[in-house]
Amino acid sequence: MERHGLLSPETPEEAREAYHALAATATTVVRESARAMDFDREEMDERVTDSVYATAHEALFASLLSVTDGSREEFESWREGVDGEVTVMGGENVDRVVWHAFSGEAIAATYQNEPEAARATLRRMAFGRLYRDVLRADGEP
């Protein structure tokens, strides 16, 4: 088994704290990307909307989530110790699994090849299914 990523919040409060800590970084990435595309001030104001910043913020958070990558047997052994719901996407007869747990729930995806793609996909799914509502609970878009 291998772990990849930096963020492993265990509670909604920890997730919100990590998410808010990344806001300035996401803003900087968007602004520097717009500058690299030679946006002038007017084009920047027109094209780089709050939605663009929010998307970058969410993508940055998701990309840093820690995921575990292991064999089917390692996953099943881990799963036996989980009290909460575990949602598994993919085929039952696939050798490898990546998973992420948060606040009593977990999401997993099976894969045969392309571990980096599997981890990236799982992180996006984890954000959408496990984090989005928690992070928007305080009124953020």
Q: Is residue 50 part of a domain?
A: yes
Three state DSSP letters for 22-75: CHHHHHHHHHHHHHHCCCCHHHHHHHCCHHHHHHHHHHHHHHCECEEEEEHHHH
In a domain, 64, yes or no: yes
State the Cα–Cα distance between residues 21 and 110, nearest whole angstrom: 31
Residue 140 domain flag: no
Judge whether 66 lies within some domain.
Answer: yes
Domain interval for residue 55: 2-135
Q: What is the pLDDT of residue 138?
A: 55
Task: Report if residue 118 sits inside a domain.
Answer: yes
pLDDT in tens, the chain (141 residues): 999 999 999 999 999 999 999 999 999 999 999 999 999 989 988 999 999 999 999 999 999 999 999 999 999 999 999 989 999 999 888 999 999 999 999 999 999 999 999 999 999 999 999 999 999 865 554
Q: Residue 137's pLDDT is what?
A: 62
Pair of tokens at residue 112: 């045969």
Structure confidence at residue 136 (pLDDT): 82
Distance CA 88, CA 41 (A): 46
* pTM, 2 dp: 0.89
To which residue do tokens 């948060």 refer? 102
Q: How far is CA 24 from CA 5, 20, 61, 115, in A?
A: 20, 8, 12, 30
**How many domains does one find in the chain?**
1
